[in-house]
Amino acid sequence: MSDLQPVRGTRDLIGEEFRRHAHVIDTARHVAGLYGFDEWATPIFEDTRVFARTLGETSDVVSKEMYTFTDRGGDSLTLRPENTAGVCRALVTGGLTQSLPQKVFYAGPMFRYERPQKGRYRQFHQIGCELIGAAEPLADAEVIAAGWDILTKLGISGDVVLELNTLGDKDSRDAYRAALVAYFTAHKASLSEDSLTRLERNPMRILDSKNEGDKALVADAPIIDPYLTPAAAAFFEQLQAHLVGMGIPSVRNARIVRGLDYYSHTAFEFVTTALGAQGTVMAGGRYDGLVEEMGGPPTPAVGWAAGIERLSMLCNEMPKPMDTVAVLPVVGQIDPDKAISAAVDMMQLLRRSSIRAEMSYSGNLKRRLSRANKVGARYAVFLSEFGTAAVRDLISGAQIDMQAAEVPAYLQDRMR
Ligand code: ATP
Ligand code: MG
């Protein structure tokens, strides 16, 4: 036995777990494609500044959760904690700010040093969509609709609620921030230590606090609505009208915030009560200032990211895995080698007809058959060395004889 264990907060994806994971990605990739999103893959590690600059030095992710290391060349690198920064970096370094809009889908591992628990890992996986280069509320609506359709296709939109908020434009936010500072300063004595720091640095983040005492204060804190400029209020109205038109239900949650200045207007989360404390499955919003932060021109953008582990835990309807055909050489009549090679030929024929086929590597007929049943094979094909075959339905037990050459077409009709 080995004393080696998977690193805390990491998991192996094997068998059913891998299938669920892949199903989430395949479904999301397909639906995102219908909305015109093309897949990108950016590196899993980046220059640390890609994240430090854009996520904000004071954010939890940057201050506590990043896997940062110095490589052998002395450069500070970070395993990506999320992928929006990498996509924006790639957009800028690839000169793509000249060909907008870009609609990007991605899927892959992310890394955060967190306390592992159900639905929270140190290596986890996200899918995400970014629509870069459109400032219209229709862009926000389409991004949300793509997310909604993915959840629907996965069969989980019934368990999930879309919570929607607006952070307004800069003027709205400045006015709102002043109101929040006034309110929380008046209740300073009851604020948690973390939130006292936030009051100095980033007061809106107090709305996001998980501290119970803070939550009680937050419940009575002012909301942004009276501080929205007419333009920001109109943007939010139009987004909601688009969503209604698209048949996507949402509820207002005025407590959804994003701590950083480049976030504006739309902020949203898809939330479920089915996963205990880890209830947010998909989170996103508009980040009009991020591309500029990365050294590009001012560029509007909106997107979301979703945790694949949390989605895959919610998924109850899985597509049926591919049926298998077990091929069995009937050895022993005249020439065993001939029977085996007839079976190998049949296996290749089936595979090249898009049928999953396997043969045991050793054993007599009885053992091969019991292995075929054990792996849940759907059909068994017994092959003689004379070019004939018997096809047995392993569920019903019914068996029929035919020429070997007829087997692929026979099975293709039944296994579709
Ligand atoms: P939380 O409040 O749960 O920590 P977050 O605000 O840090 O979430 P985002 O950065 O918005 O999360 O990431 C988007 C989504 O990625 C989350 O809604 C969640 O589904 C997933 N996610 C984030 N961190 C983890 C993690 N450590 N393990 C598994 N999934 C995660
Ligand atoms: Mg987090």
Per-residue pLDDT of the chain (416 residues; tens, 9 = 90+): 679 999 999 999 999 999 999 999 999 999 999 999 999 999 999 999 999 877 777 677 877 899 999 999 999 999 999 999 999 999 999 999 999 999 999 999 999 999 999 999 999 999 999 999 999 999 999 999 999 999 999 999 999 999 999 999 999 999 999 999 999 999 999 999 999 999 998 899 899 888 999 999 999 999 999 999 999 999 999 999 999 999 999 999 999 988 677 889 999 999 998 887 778 999 999 999 899 999 999 999 999 999 999 999 999 888 888 899 999 998 666 787 888 899 999 999 999 999 999 999 998 899 999 999 998 999 999 998 888 999 999 999 999 999 999 999 999 999 86
Atom from ligand 1 closest to the CA of residue 311: 20
Distance, CA 91 to ligand 2 centroid (Å)? Answer: 25
Atom from ligand 1 closest to the CA of residue 119: 29
CB 286 within 8 A of CB 165: no
Tell me whether strands 102-111 and 160-166 are parallel, antiparallel or unpaired: unpaired
Cα 209 to Cα 215: distance, rounded to the nearest angstrom: 7
Which sequence spans correspond to the domains of the chain?
A: 16-169+229-314, 324-414
108 is written with which tokens? 């892959």
Determine how many CB atoms are found less than 10 A away from the CB of residue 399.
13
Cα 294 to Cα 50: distance, rounded to the nearest angstrom: 7
Residues with CB under 6 A from ligand 1: 82, 112, 114, 119-121, 124, 126, 278, 280-283, 305-307, 309-310
Can you name the CATH fold of 324-414? Rossmann fold (3.40.50)
The reply to whether 16-169+229-314 and 324-414 are identical in fold is: no
Atom from ligand 1 closest to the CA of residue 121: 28
In DSSP terms, 303 is beta-bridged to 130, 285
Residue 402 to residues 42, 65, 394, 409: CA-CA distances in angstroms?
A: 52, 63, 17, 11
Distance, CA 351 to ligand 2 centroid (Å)? Answer: 45
Domain 16-169+229-314: give its CATH code: 3.30.930.10
Helix, strand, coil shares of the chain, percent, nearest 5, are 45, 20, 35
pTM of the shown model: 0.93
Q: Is the peptide bond before 101 cis (omega within 30 degrees of 0)?
A: yes
Q: 412 — phi, psi (to 5°)?
A: -55, -40
